[in-house]
Chain A
């Protein structure tokens, strides 16, 4: 480093941690963006934040250590219950400020993670997946039966505003709750990233890829899995505590199979191989779940199709798709790639519109037969008893698909040009290299 331009320690730290600072700024500014600054918008952001922490903890398990769990919601829910019970105690007079409640969730998550992890992490792979399924079902049933602790189906409620105020935060308005969620989310993400830099954290990738070899160099795969499992459970519990704070209610379905399935969806669709993939998945799926059902009653079908498409064509998830472009982003030919994307998008959109029409018409006819044959789709009124909407939909689908397939080689060519250029650039010796 040139001593003449050496920067101070603070600037060094800031440059090194550029992404985190950027993230913090974005989080601070987001709830004031017009469109998101209503009660609902801020609730949506809070929900996304909670989902992001949950998905990140799942990423530790699945992405980093290769442990597929169908029962991760257990730790989320149990953390949530710990949180809500603490909130109730605070409502009764315990002098702990509300923003610290998620710590109780984390503690509960850790405790149960250690308890269940001790017996379930001995094996990986399919056996682990099935055990997690069984444990999840058992805990869910236990929560339904043991109503003193869990409130059963109705759950337990508390008041987040009735407690000592930390820094003047009453937690009445959603904005304040959002900031608490954003704070803990950033802290959790930073801690998880730091964890992945510790020796144990580094080993979990090794254990995922080749447990035998890891054992040979002296690390017991079972112990590594156990530690990662407990840490993941702790952060899931933290997310649960945030959930309790945000909704002021925790019910039996917080540990249910549906929630476990959702976090799996989030982590996978976002991309299991990268850290920010979990965040991307959490945000996308949360938005889809909340808003898609406003536009169509067939939202579950679309979610399923989306998921299948990802599994088949994009196993790296959304983040994988984005990161795929990293090598070619700086090349000049990248603009050409973008152009081909734009052109290919047209027949693709046409085909998708046709498919959506078919699905929507069918769905409406099957589930709401009395709503009549008339329906309004894409701002067009149509009578589905006649033939023309069907023909139109089929035509759109067929035409769009045909042209898309015809155009695909061009996209491949543009990609080829860009990656050739990228490779050429990296082969050129850099000026000043020894």
Chain B
């Protein structure tokens, strides 16, 4: 019953090899990217990876941050909170100062918590956490920390934008809510109920459905309920298969409603929805290629470099994030995380779609939001489907602000 010495030897070998591959450490600002690069959600992570490659190359070509080049290491977390914590430890050991993550609110909450604990236990070695896509409102409310900055509008802010638009549409009379049964889906449903009641109390909410996450293959019973309720509008936070299958079942059954979604512009969604979504699918987004008369120059450069069907600039807010990061480094005249964090708070910038602001009280980015329809006849299509997005209404950054319950503890000095 002896514990074999092999494991230790193996582990030692691994560490030596890893150390060899770690590479030289010149004066660099190290970034870490912790997102899925394999497994079911890999495509979103791989797409984001390209954004990072583009942005960092651009900054380094312009001289870097305060004279130091940026370097990034990509860690695959397979959208798992535990794997993310392991990746975080690797990143910290490798000397990363800024951690980027976006896919999955569960992961985001785990990382935010872990980084706060690390910073508390290791004063002088603080790291910052830049969240570019995890939209659970808790991250900038009950669970906010000084070290977390969110560069995407949260689920409540997006719902406010959608509801404000719906309020101007008199033909909307009956709304059906259908969401995935977990924290994000429930947050979407709760926000929809509350905000519709405030803005348009005459609208009847004829359904509030929660279905198990990524388990339903056949949405036709749900579609039957939607039909039976007489709804003319469906609001859903569903993403990936849950959205595609729901939409497909709706199309099969001849359901005639307008769909308000959060993720119809996510990677792969336009292809999956296809022509059947023409004119009836709407999305709340921070950018789409027809938002301005012409493409944002960064988006154009990106599309020149990455030319596959699925290479859309889906994370415009990463562009905003890096703009703010660079500006904060310039303002603080240093690349130290604590100084950059203080410089970021309250920062205002102008991007190609309008003014943005990083709130000091809860580290939530205020950015312009668009409610857009998936339709043909637009200048730029997405994913080579022939269809693209067209703005229905644009909401300015400061109008997206929501009250916060955040009470963050600030470091002194």
Contact = CB atoms under 8 A, between A and B. Distances in A.
Do A and B have CB atoms closer than 8 angstroms in the complex?
Answer: yes
Interface of A: 18-20, 22-23, 26-27, 30, 33, 35-36, 38-41, 43-45, 47-48, 141, 144-145, 147, 152-155, 157, 159, 161, 172-174, 189, 193, 247-249, 251, 253, 275-276, 279-280, 283-284, 287, 290-291, 293-294, 297-300, 319, 322, 367-370
B41 to A, nearest CB: 13
A152 B2 contact: no
A161 B122 CA distance: 13
Contacts of A19: 1-3
B38 A279 contact: no
Contacts of A27: 3
Interface size band for B: 35 or more
A276 B7 contact: no
Given A154-B183, A297-B38, A39 B89 contact: yes
Contacts of B75: 294
Contacts of A298: 38
Nearest to B90: A40
B113 A370 contact: no
Contacts of B184: 153
A279 B136 CA distance: 39
Contacts of B182: 144, 147, 152-153
Contacts of B311: 370
Given A48-B7, A284-B10, A297-B38, A40 B16 contact: no
Nearest to B182: A153
A26 B3 contact: yes
B252 interface: no
A416 B283 CA distance: 71
Given A36-B15, A40-B92, 14 more contacts: A33-B8, A35-B12, A41-B11, A43-B86, A147-B183, A153-B182, A154-B81, A157-B110, A248-B117, A251-B106, A253-B82, A280-B7, A284-B7, A370-B50
Contacts of B8: 26, 30, 33
B203 interface: no
B306 interface: yes
Contact of B11 (A249, A280, A283): A283
Contacts of B308: 369-370
A289 to B, nearest CB: 8
B5 interface: yes
Contact of B10 (A20, A153, A154, A287): A287
15 contacts: A19-B1, A144-B181, A152-B182, A153-B105, A153-B106, A154-B183, A155-B110, A249-B85, A276-B1, A283-B6, A284-B10, A294-B76, A297-B76, A370-B50, A370-B306
Contacts of A147: 182-183
Contacts of A297: 37-38, 42, 76
Given A43-B89, A153-B183, A159 B11 contact: no
A161 B19 CA distance: 30
B90 A368 contact: no
Contacts of A38: 93
Closest A-B pairs by Cβ, 5 of them: A35-B15, A19-B2, A283-B7, A23-B3, A40-B93
B90 A249 contact: no
A47 B86 CA distance: 9
A254 B307 CA distance: 39
A147 to B, nearest CB: 7
B172 interface: no
Given A47-B86, A144-B212, A248-B114, A276 B38 contact: no
Given A35-B16, A287-B14, A253 B1 contact: no
B30 to A, nearest CB: 15
A145 B181 contact: yes
B271 to A, nearest CB: 15
